[in-house]
Amino acid sequence: MNLPKLDTSVFNRLRFVLVDTSHPGNIGAVARAMKTMGFSDLRLVNPRFDDALSHPDAIAFASGAQDVLQNARIVSHIDEALEGCHFVAAVSARLREFSPPILSAHAFAKQASDRCDQNLALVFGSERFGLPNEIVLNSHALINIATNPDYSSLNLAQAVQILAYECRMTSVGHTTPNEVIGFRGESASTQQIDSMYQHLQEALVAIGFLNPNSPKKLMPRLKRLFSRTSLEIEEVNILRGIAKKMLDGNKQ
């Protein structure tokens, strides 16, 4: 018997399961949170409203993620929602005396990435009562999101967003704040940057800002400043244009 090959992408292996959800708007908000992070597999276990996926509030709060709602499945029992899953993590702010191993959101995301040959599920309880103990105890892990201990209440969609974000970042990597940039042009070569420094130094001498007999550390400091910016060719050209204007003005 030839079994279908499992897609190793976490975006196709991770399922979000909502149990006894009370408000259709929260279901729509969850769909939106999932889609913004690239996930789409949503299952509902006994939602309060029969039209939970088509309810006006669900559609409004989905805000463009209606396709997640349309493809979601409603089932009557948790076992149906978890069919085909190899690893199940319950999400709860309330710790149990006898519970499966407790994971942080980041630790679960790491496991989701490492378990590349397994389907996984995140299970979220109702807004008012959370998850039944039976579901938690039958899960492989309990995820406790680190929050303010004096006020640990998270909206359902917020909890989904945190887990989805962690899983996305672990899967696709992330950029540091210095790397977050919109349009990125072609990087300048070291030769182009060195020529720009020479041109700029000549201009600074011409206008009397730099004393060539006592330069101190002006140019090294300027080099250090610009080295933190990963200069692009267009930016080097702008700086050389400024230097040229300074030199032309000094000749008049």
Alpha helices in the chain, H assignment, sequence order: 10-13, 24-36, 56-62, 66-71, 78-81, 105-114, 133-137, 156-172, 190-206, 218-227, 233-251
Arithmetic mean of pLDDT over the chain: 87
Please give the domain boundaries of the chain with CATH numbers for all domains.
Answer: 10-174 (3.40.1280.10), 190-251 (1.10.8.590)
What's the pLDDT tens digit per position in 149-207? 888 778 999 999 999 999 999 988 644 444 545 566 788 888 888 899 899 999 999 99
Q: Average of pLDDT values for 83-96?
A: 87
Tracing tokens 């950029």 back to the chain, one arrives at: 175
* pTM of this structure: 0.69
What is the dihedral angle through the alpha carbons of 60, 35, 39, 73, rounded to the nearest 10 degrees? 20
| C-alpha separations of 168 from 6, 10, 195 in Å | 19, 8, 42
What does the alpha-carbon distance between residue 46 and residue 125 come to, in Å, rounded to a whole number? 11
